[in-house]
Amino acid sequence: MAGIAQSSSYSPAADTPENANYRFALVTLTSLFFIMGFITCLNDILIPHLKNVFSLNYTQAMLIQFCFFGAYGLTSVPAGALVKKIGYQRGIVISLVIAAAGCLLFYPAAAFASYPLFLGALFILACGLTLLQVSANPYVTRLGPVETASSRLTLNQAFNSLGTTLAPFFGALLILSTATVAVSEMSDTELAAFRSHEAEAVQLPYMLLASAFFILATVFSLLKLPVIIDGESKSEKEQNQDAESAWQYRHLVLGAVGIFVYVGAEVSIGSFLVNFLGEPHIVGLQEADAAPYIAYYWGGAMVGRFIGAALMTRLPAGAVLAASAVMAGLLVTVAMSTSGSVAMWAILAVGLFNSIMFPTIFSLAVQGLGRHTSQGSGILCTAIVGGAIIPVMQGAFADNMGVQAAFFLPVICYVYIVYYGLRGSRPTNR
């Protein structure tokens, strides 16, 4: 592979071999963003399914998200160091192999009908996705001029949302049962048979996903993608001359908090959608009937990212981020204070305004980091652990306050994102 260093003179209008390589790389990366979104959204199907199979309360069911997103907290910084050493492309290949191994472990977890084994398989799968995030996200931001980094990453994240939009239909068809079963009325023998049968429903979907990961790993090991060196432009060197670590950048640290609360809010809402729509005073849908509605939530994110990618070529990314967070917070408030179809469509519409938050926060936070970009990416991906902690907190509130009232937690998260968009994202180092 020919080495291609980051250049501040890159122009999308210039038809050069370097720019053609960048465009080819961006196109191939869309497949990774698609499958990351697809497999992450399947957790929203696993939660009500395993909650019913193992008779879990909301706090216990949210351990699915805790183990999945907890991997980001434990492995993102080491992943950032690994990517800095081996490069973005090799990091992508290794991450896909690890993710495939995690999917394969769903087979024995289902065979033994063991909830702890499911959690362990999810953790390994998430370790692979963590490395994939650390490799792919900064790679996209470096494939072109810094001014349009938010737009590029938002556009790729739109394909992530396409995956999250299709996953609920896939999960509802292959995982969720349409039958209503009274687990509490079963004998021990009947309960064991029921758990074994329902747990096996996840084997085929995750074996298919394991195959997809292995195929992608093979493809990306053979592709000739541009090598991006995390060097610095002259202005970045002047700005970074006293910075020995990415932790010295205030906008990065505040951005990590932004990623933490954003992912926590988005995952919490998605995790509770099926149960929220099943509430009698909302619309009272059965699990299999409610699952397809998750596609509206994630489909809104997909549409919003295509719109946001266009908007942020003309408007300041921070302002678009703050406006989106205001609208998301208002919609969650409406869902908390109303009932019926109004509450249902209000919570589903949040996805439209969630759309641009992750890529925008990420690209704003790594702006100007230069040689510290890989470390900064690891820090930001560590903050994805918000998807592990905030849903468990909301689960505890739901057990004590009810599902609807517990949505106050995402509202608080959106308030912080408004602050980051307006003030906290301004590039500075300490």
pLDDT in tens, 255-285: 999 999 999 999 899 889 988 998 999 988 8
Q: What pLDDT is stored for residue 16 in this prediction?
A: 46
> What's the predicted TM-score (pTM) here?
0.72
Q: What pLDDT is stored for residue 176 in this prediction?
A: 65
Q: What pLDDT is stored for residue 420 in this prediction?
A: 94
Q: Please state the rounded mean pLDDT for residues 147-156.
A: 72
Cα distances from 46 to residues 38, 41, 171, 172, in angstroms, run 13, 9, 8, 10
Average pLDDT, the chain: 81
Answer yes or no: CATH 1.20.1250.20 is held by domain 17-424. Answer: yes
> For 14, phi and psi rounded to 5 degrees?
-75, 125
pLDDT in tens, 177-211: 544 455 555 666 766 676 677 767 788 889 999 99
**pLDDT grade for 231, boundaries at 50, 70 and 90:** low
- From the list 322, 320, 339, 349, the residue with the least C-alpha distance to 414 is 322
82: amino acid identity, one letter? L
pLDDT in tens, 373-420: 777 877 888 898 898 899 999 999 999 999 899 999 999 999 999 999
* Residue spans per domain, the chain: 17-424
Q: What pLDDT is stored for residue 10 in this prediction?
A: 35
pLDDT in tens, 6-45: 333 333 444 444 555 677 777 788 888 888 888 888 888 8
Interhelix angle 408-419/250-277, rounded to 10 degrees, is: 150
Does residue 364 contact residue 255 with C-beta atoms inside 8 Å? yes
Cα distances from 36 to residues 99, 113, 380, in angstroms, run 10, 26, 17
